[in-house]
Chain A
Amino acid sequence: MGDFSDIIPKVVDATVEIFTGMVMMEINQEGEPLTELGIINDSITGMVGLAGTHKGMLAVHFPNDLALAITTSFLGMDVEEINEDVQDAVGEIANMLGGNVKTLLTDKGYDIQLSLPSTISGEEYTFLADSDLQQIVIPFTAPAGTFYVELELEA
């Protein structure tokens, strides 16, 4: 865990706040943080890039079934396949978390700009950090599965 470990509890709080307040879904942080996630199967990832004094990335990895449940709850309408609504909802969750991380890092004296959110999805993929970035992966449980919030940041 890198020197941004002090903000991790606040990232957890922000994730819970986003889910309970806007997605209308109860979640819990469960399990020890990981240093990498490995191969990701049947999932969709939302991410925002961090640039400025410290480069990095904030990503949220959802299994497809959980992404559908989140989008259904978020939008209040049934969603049965990974489509533009799911991509948009997952991207917006990453965007909101990225905004929180930016605020937390600004409070530490960093000067950070955020990229627009983007998403990737697939049957099997790997999310690799640059070797000069510190990486932490935080597991969360939701009613429809486990998801991960990943923060990569330049030391």
Chain B
Amino acid sequence: MAKNVLLVDDSSTMRKIVSRSLRQAGLDFGDIFEAGDGQEALDVLEKEAVDIVLSDINMPNMNGIEFLREKSGRDGIKDIPVFMISTETGDDIIGEAKSLGAVGALKKPFTPDKVNEVLGPFM
């Protein structure tokens, strides 16, 4: 069954690029929802049937790490898998993200082939 995806990034350009890359990667996905920061992402997760989240880290209002921390405390949504898509993929910040439940990370810039390689097993 195709999975519904939530894209979380303060850049509308990057949300479009990720959405396009998912299509170009040939991945089987359902609806794509979008959010501009962590708080908006939490609101979408509480209302919509999202199967996987692809989230930036460096965002205003509520960043990706704060989003993971808040999400991990909410029973209805805490088990939805989150991938980090960010320019920041150092061991320290990705380690913190994984300790808060992130299941993987994709570094910007990326190609559709890389998207397929990293996200394919989860889609």
Contacts and interface: CB of A to CB of B under 8 A. Distances in A.
A106 B20 contact: no
B109 A17 contact: yes
B11 A95 contact: yes
B117 to A, nearest CB: 14
Q: How large is the interface on B (under 10, 10 to 19, 20 to 34, 35 or more residues)?
A: 20 to 34
Given A17-B109, A95-B58, A22 B17 contact: yes
A63 interface: no
Contacts of A84: 12
Nearest to A17: B109
A interface: dominant SS: helix
Interface string B1-17: 00000000011111011
Given A18-B109, A21-B109, A76-B20, A99 B88 contact: yes
B88 A88 contact: no
A21 B111 CA distance: 6
Contact of A85 (B13, B17, B87): B13
B110 interface: yes
Contacts of A21: 109-111
Interface string A97-117: 011101100100000001010
8 contacts: A22-B17, A75-B16, A85-B13, A89-B13, A95-B108, A103-B88, A106-B90, A116-B10
